Amino acid sequence: MTTPLLPPVEVHVEGPEDLIASVPHVLGFHPRDSLVVMAMQQSSLTFTLRVDIPLARHRRGLAEQLLMPIRAQQPTSVLLMVFGGGKADPAGKPPHAKLIDLMHSALCSVGVPLAHAIWVRSCQAGEPWICYADPECSGTMPDPNTSPLAAASAAAGNVTFADRSDVVALVEPVGDDVLTRRSELLDKAVDEHQKETAAGIRLVRDTIGRDTPLSDDEVVALAMALSDHRVRDACMTYAIGDKSQAAERLWLELTRGCPAPERAEPATLLAVNAYLRGDGGLASVAIEAAEAACPGHRLAGLLRSAFDCGLAPARIRDLVLGAADEAAWLLRSGDEE
């Protein structure tokens, strides 16, 4: 079979021994007390999944749970390997046969063939392995560290750990004192950001309705405020109510006066205002301006889809009110400072 690595490397392995020896280098660690599922497309390995061996009462639930990721791969066959979890009985039958039977039944229910099922005591050189379907199909493990896949993995810069706990250790948090100190700093940073958001909302609110042209500094300050999506979302509420005309004049001035990509924020607000008062032409032009200023702009894309589908202005109005709930709360809380 062909086994992929990251960075992309392909190594051809043959026979159960080579297959078992490849597992640590595919997973990145030597599995223990584990069920390993390998999904195949013809002779190529496309997907590997490892789970802890479940308690007896959880076997069926696990088999059902694993079907979703397996089916998503649309494999032509599946390989199952059990590592550890006990030892063969006196008759030579491997442990956890009922788990394999349930997995086999689940795979059959979705039309995926089980190509092979193997138990191995551990993924170390000289350890015995046995096939579930045929006890005569058995052997001993080669050294995984000298396999072709080990060499390819090392050449690709990958590390194979002795145990999954070593991988877990890579992401262990630093000391509690450091985390506590940084948590306090984050609390302060969030408080400052909340204050900046509220200040931005107040700035826009106080600017709406002014009759004098905006200075360069004012345009910059407003553009910075609207770059906070919570400020922008709060401003969508100005499309409804007695300030809608004054707000639309401000969005138009900022759309014309802001450079890209900042132009996208007032342009989307202009589009909302125009659409809700029935001016689909201006709404469409404003969305085009937003998309040109910031390709891939999320709100502009959502509005484009809504406009193209002919979503009723009343529905847009409801969506605007719903989307702006949190931002409107920030506006109220900002007013209370």
Distance of CA 88 to the CA centre of its chain: 40
Residue 122's identity, in one-letter code, is S
Share of the chain above pLDDT 90, in %: 36
Whether the per-residue pLDDT at 117 is higher than 90: the answer is yes
Q: Per residue in 226-270, pLDDT tens?
A: 999 888 988 998 898 889 999 999 999 999 999 999 999 999 999
Q: Which residue has the tokens 């004049």?
A: 249
Share of the chain above pLDDT 70, in %: 85
Beta bridge partners, 119, equal: 82, 130
CB 227 within 8 A of CB 265: yes
For the domain bounded by 2-170, which CATH number is listed?
A: 3.40.140.10
Q: Per residue in 87-96, pLDDT tens?
A: 776 666 899 9
pLDDT at 329: 63
pLDDT at 328: 58
Cα separation, 247 vs 277, in Å, equals: 13
Maximum average pLDDT range among 183-197, 225-239, 304-318: 225-239
pLDDT at 78: 92
Whether residue 261 has a cis bond before it, omega within 30° of 0: yes
95-108 average pLDDT score: 94
| Both tokens assigned to 44 | 């190529």
Q: Quick one: residue 84, left, alpha or beta (phi over 0 = left, psi -120 to 50 = alpha)?
A: left
Of the candidate ranges 117-121, 122-126, 190-194, 231-235, the one whose mean pLDDT is the lowest? 190-194
Beta bridge partners, 11, equal: 3
286-297 average pLDDT score: 94
306-315 average pLDDT score: 78
Q: Which of 78, 72, 96 is nearest to 86 (CA)?
A: 96
Cα separation, 78 vs 113, in Å, equals: 6
Q: Which of 318, 302, 314 is nearest to 264 (CA)?
A: 302
pTM for this prediction: 0.56
pLDDT at 8: 41
Cα separation, 269 vs 76, in Å, equals: 51
Q: Compute CA distances 334 → 127, 199, 243, whole Å.
A: 68, 7, 19
Cα separation, 322 vs 317, in Å, equals: 9
Q: Which residue has the higher pLDDT, 16 or 250?
A: 250
40-65 average pLDDT score: 88
Q: Which residue has the tokens 């950001």?
A: 193
187-212 average pLDDT score: 84
pLDDT at 153: 66
pLDDT at 170: 75
pLDDT at 9: 42
280-291 average pLDDT score: 91
Cα separation, 22 vs 253, in Å, equals: 64
Whether the per-residue pLDDT at 192 is higher than 80: the answer is no
The ranges assigned to domains in the chain are 2-170, 178-335
Q: Which residue has the higher pLDDT, 305 or 88?
A: 305
Q: How confident is the model at residue 164 (pLDDT cuts 50, 70, 90)?
A: confident
Of the candidate ranges 9-23, 266-280, 296-310, the one whose mean pLDDT is the lowest? 9-23
pLDDT at 233: 87
